[in-house]
Amino acid sequence: MNAFTSLLSFGSDAPAFTSDSPRRATFRAPNACTNSAATRIDPFAARYGRSLPLPLRAEAAGLSWQEFVAVYADERGPLRLRDWSATTMPAGRAAFEATIAVGDTIHTAAALACGPVAAMTAMLHDLGFGLEIHSFHRHDLGDTHVTFLLCGSGEHRTWVMGAGESGEESTLRAMIAGINRIHTSAQGCAATSKSAHR
């Protein structure tokens, strides 16, 4: 099965990762997280019983679960991961392929790397999006994995969250959320800067 043949499954309730063989895994993004009641201290702890990273906990204090997801895991930005696949190669490397939407334009990307983070970083760079990961935290919650990243590009830094059926999927989703949040923040700063100079 070709990972790029079924873009209609994007955002469906279909499993996020399928395996065509022991050496190949395919990613299809599932739906966004569900809502929960508000909490005054840590929305993630209220929902899953595990604490957010301390700096993120302070930043997110008082948000409901719905508000937290809308801010830190919003997948509606200009960059969207449509499909992802990895094929194991010799010497601990893998050939990664992705279909990434940037606005209304669909791009195919490929990278040969030791892991998915390095591959996604290279693909994002090739598309003109720089991303640095300054802090990485992951929780395995059984059927769900959640990754929190403090990521940056240039002078912009932000916390983001990605959730998925595997650690790899949650990390990729967090990286995409990081680019989208940084891009939105940078546009807001540029608009504020332009209006301040008028």
Judged by DSSP in three states, 41 sits in coil
- pLDDT-derived band at 75 (thresholds 50, 70, 90) equals confident
CA distance 81 to 101: 6
pLDDT tens digit sequence for 109-151: 999 999 999 999 999 999 999 999 999 999 999 999 999 999 9
Domain boundaries, given as residue ranges, for the chain: 13-32+73-190
Question: pLDDT at position 100, please?
Answer: 96
pLDDT over 70 for what percent of the chain?
Answer: 73
Q: Please give the CATH topology (third level) of the domain spanning 13-32+73-190.
A: Double Stranded RNA Binding Domain (3.30.160)
Q: What are phi and psi of 60, to 5 degrees?
A: -95, 0
Average confidence (pLDDT) over 168-173: 96
| pTM to 2 decimal places | 0.74
CA dist 77 → 68, 103, 133, 180 (Å): 16, 8, 19, 5
Burial 8-28 (b: 16+ CB within 10 A, else e): ebbeeeeebbeeeeeebbbbb
